[in-house]
Structure 1
Amino acid sequence: MKKIIVIAFICISTLAQAQLTSKEEVTTELVAKREAQKKEITNNYLVLKNNLISSDSLSVVKNAGVLQNSLQNFKFKKLNLQQMNEAMKTRKEIIALTAEITATKNINKQRKIFETLSAKFWELTPKLKADETKLYLQVCPMTSATWLSDSKEIKNPYYPKNMLTCGEVKASL
């Protein structure tokens, strides 16, 4: 009998917590905070890309860590269980890639890791992009390497010295 009461109490507590959480989600303050987090993550990615364009490997290390922290603090909302699992898995992979970037000061290695990171980041972009932000998926036709940009103007982070303007817009969100 005690087990049934304990189980019932746990179920009621969980339901009450779920209702509290759903009520918290609709407040304008929490919505604004969430949008700010999305904008921060997107901006951190773009700063990292721009560091690669300028071939500043020390800033790449620093800003990869900043991106990593902002991703770790983000909580996904309004996803079903499968979508949540996929998003969490992809975020974990991106965090691991940012850790790899922070572990090297070799700009060419950083660019190679960033190539994989960009492909993974694009997968999460619909869930991470702030509402007012427009992002473009750009591709280098010679290497098929992709990156995201907030501008249609091509600035290739993989070959900035030789092929800075080599690329094209592949998609946008």
Structure 2
Amino acid sequence: MKALILSIILAFGIVTVNAQQINSVDNVTAHYIGLKEALVNSNAELAKSKSGELLAALTAFPVKTLQPKQQKILATYLTKLKYDSRHISETTVIDHQREHFQSLSKNMYALLSGLNLNSSPLYQQYCPMKKAYWLSESTDIRNPYYGSDMMECGKVTATLKAGK
């Protein structure tokens, strides 16, 4: 009986940790998507605000809930993601925000594909004019690098399937 109770407690603990990981990844992803949408709409003030929210979500990420391999992946990209988020959040010069978004997107893709914890699919998209990638929650192209000037410029290049 004790073994059964201990097994149930252990299983509940594992499920709780997995839920925390997924919620944290989804939270970071949602803030990234919010930033992307602000850039799509060429709204530098909103991009500044959304980037600050992304920075806060990255800072609050519960590293210790990850497996050691995942912690190493997070450690590889977290400083870079914070750097770009911080820079975007400190300016309203949209061209400068978009420059940092390019690096942010590259590192976000690497992080999310390495962690494999997103709860829904994400699509890596590519703008041939800018030679830059971004992530989207949909296959519809809404280009954050040129906004309304070239809204549909791009293509889907990869899919991050929902993780565990």
Measure, in 1, the Cα distance between the counterparts of 2:17 and 2:145: 37
Deviation at 1:126, TM superposition (A): 2.4
Aligned residue for 1:58?
Answer: 45
Question: Residues 68 and 95 of structure 1 are in contact (CA less than 8 Å); yes or no, is this contact kept in structure 2?
Answer: yes
Question: Residues 46 and 149 of structure 1 are in contact (CA less than 8 Å); yes or no, is this contact kept in structure 2?
Answer: yes
> Given residue 79 of structure 1, which amino acid in structure 2 is its aligned partner?
P
Aligned residue for 1:71?
Answer: 58
Could you give the per-residue CA deviations for residues 95-154 of structure 1, whole angstroms, max 9, x where no partner exists?
011111111111111011101110111110124564431000000112211000010000
- SS of structure 2 residue aligned to 1:119: helix
Say which of 111, 114, 118 aligns to 1:124. Answer: 111
Question: Residues 127 and 153 of structure 2 are in contact (CA less than 8 Å); yes or no, is this contact kept in structure 1?
Answer: yes
> Superposed, which structure 2 residues align to 1:1-173 within 5 Å?
26-74=13-61, 75=63, 77-80=66-69, 84-127=71-114, 130-173=117-160
> Given residue 98 of structure 1, which amino acid in structure 2 is its aligned partner?
S
Question: Residues 152 and 169 of structure 1 are in contact (CA less than 8 Å); yes or no, is this contact kept in structure 2?
Answer: yes
Deviation at 1:36, TM superposition (A): 1.4
Could you give the per-residue CA deviations for residues 29-57 of structure 1, whole angstroms, max 9, x where no partner exists?
33323221111111110000000011111
Measure, in 2, the Cα distance between the counterparts of 1:69 and 1:151: 25
TM-score, scaled to structure 1: 0.78
- SS of structure 2 residue aligned to 1:26: helix
Cα 1:162–1:104 shift into 2, 3 Å: same
TM-score, scaled to structure 2: 0.82
Question: Residues 73 and 115 of structure 2 are in contact (CA less than 8 Å); yes or no, is this contact kept in structure 1?
Answer: no
Gaps of 5+ in 1: 1-22
The alignment yields a C-alpha RMSD, in angstroms, of: 2.0
Residue identity over aligned pairs, in percent, reads: 30
Gaps of 5+ in 2: 1-9
- SS of structure 1 residue aligned to 2:68: coil
Q: Over alpha carbons, which structure has the higher Rg?
A: 1
Aligned residue for 1:6?
Answer: none
Number of aligned positions between the proteins:
149
